[in-house]
Chains A and B, each alone.
Chain A
Amino acid sequence: MNRVVVVGASAAGLAAVETLRREGYDGTLTLVGDEPHAPYDRPPLSKQLLAGEWSPDRLALRHSADLDTLDLDLRLGVAATGLDVPGRTVRLADGATVPYDGLVVATGVRPRRLPGEGAHVLRTLDDAVALRDRLEPGVRVVVVGAGFLGAEAAAVASRLGAEVTLLEPAPVPLAHAIGDEIGQVLSRAHLDHGVNLRTGVTVTAVTEDGVRLADGERVDADEVLVAIGSLPNTEWLADSGLSTGDGLNCDEYCEAAQHVYAAGDVARWYNPLFGVPMRIEHRTNAAEQGMAAARNLLRPEARKPFAPVPYFWSDQYDMKIQAYGYLRGHDEVAVVDGDLETRRFVAAYRTGDRLTGTLAVGMPPKAIRSWRQAIATGATWREAVPTGDTGDDR
């Protein structure tokens, strides 16, 4: 293997190229990114960058000297537009055709949008800078979507003195992801901090003066942020013959086709630890999967299934929320430490007879790590949460 191409120059793509070099690959290594920026970190976009605490240069994922040592054929500001699997070439927006012996697809996701012009989204550095420049005391901000991104942005905007309205279609924000009761705990934090959270409200369009709701009501705003989830960037693969749906479909080795692997937000792969296909839009997964895909590409004879315990964190107001595992589709939530009222607790999630997830707010790291370990070893609910040790029935 002498020519490896990695498409996508964010966390997953960077992890892939670094791992290839670290594992001894010394051939041509092309890294393609559609943004003009060198690889940078996205989680601070809705936190320190939006708050004006960090300047954009603080988000660089690597020092330029460390990037230089990777000896990359770096192509920034140019999107990939097509893939020829039998011919083993990637087509780029500037007309170039790049041949490969091995390919890692790490093209990520883009924000879903609403009809109408003028709303902010929050995915790229440029998005975040544009919103940051508009946040000041008294500005009326409508945030559409009270998921993790919308919640973080609402928290920052209100801290900066903006008048924030947070609109969410579900009766309880994040209920599908983390459960009704925990979702309610996080919701109360918005109200406590003066954010006008309105649930059960569907926004149909962005207008010149704000947003329009499904029942015809208008909510006025100076700035609108749409944070209603994302779509995987797989359009460039449409004629490739690869299987795409919600992401690029891969097996448990993150392989999508011979010599083609995928990593990060765009990859839907089969996670044998949980026995289900999943696509994970979390920062840590991007790095772990970029590393795993690179290793499997480089050493197919020794390849290993990618079976991580997913992890994410979110900073909202004074809360640090951390979660391990696969919480989606859970059957039961139990508070196993602390209590919800004080917003310091550990919750455990059951799916079938397995412990599949844990979510903690404001708890010491060691209190969470043992739960992660139990998830990683496939502990049953009965083993992990002895009867009588849980709070009241959830």
Chain B
Amino acid sequence: MRVELDEPKCVASGQCVMASPEVFDQRDEDGVAILLEERPGEELLDGVREAVAICPAAAIRLVEE
């Protein structure tokens, strides 16, 4: 599974970092999300799915490869 982050859509809420801190971080200057792991391991996918669901900008997508 691959994570897609639509950066221009990001509103810097940081919800993804709280849901999945292993996969997401935020830039210091403007809070925009940073993708740390484009292909996270199976054990991290629940957190990523939570981040996808909770992102208030619908900026994250988990894509089957």
Could you tell me the distance in whole angstroms from the C-beta of A63 to the nearest C-beta in chain B? 7
CA distance A15 to B15 in the complex (A): 15
B contact residues around A322 at 8 Å (CB): 12-13, 31
- Does B47 reach chain A (CB closer than 8 Å)? no
Q: Chain A: interface residue count, which band? A: 20 to 34
- Stretch in contact with the other chain, from A71-79, A83-91, A145-153, A281-289: A281-289
Among A22, A58, A287, contact of B56 (Cβ-Cβ < 8 Å):
A287
Cβ of B20 under 8 Å from chain A: no
B residues 4-51 with Cβ under 8 Å of A?
9, 11-15, 17, 26, 28-31, 49
Cβ of A369 within 8 Å of any chain B Cβ, yes or no, is: yes
Given contacts A284-B13, A313-B12, A313-B13, contact A365 B26 (CB under 8 A): yes
Say whether A291 contacts B53, CB under 8 Å: yes
Quote the shortest CB–CB distance from A21 to chain B (angstroms).
11
> Are B54's CB and A291's CB within 8 A?
yes
**In the docked arrangement, what's the CA distance between A154 and B16, Å?**
30
Contacts of B14 in A (CB 8 A): 365, 368-369
Is A134 positioned at the interface, with any CB of B under 8 Å from its CB?
no
Residue pair B28, A365 in contact (C-beta under 8 Å): yes
The answer to whether residues A284 and B15 also contact, given A15-B53, A18-B53, A19-B53 and a CB cut-off of 8 A, is yes
Q: B58's closest neighbor in chain A, by CB?
A: A61
Is A364 a contact partner of B28 (Cβ separation < 8 A)? yes
Is A320's CB within 8 Å of the partner chain B? yes
In angstroms, Cα B14 to Cα A189, docked, is 25
Cα–Cα distance between A63 and B53 once the two chains are bound (Å): 13
| A362 CB to nearest chain B CB (Å) | 9
For B54, give its contact among A22, A62, A63, A288 (CB under 8 Å). Answer: A288
User: Which residues of A line the B interface, CB within 8 A?
Assistant: 11, 15, 18-19, 22, 41, 43, 58, 60-63, 66, 283-284, 287-288, 291, 311, 313, 320, 322, 364-366, 368-369
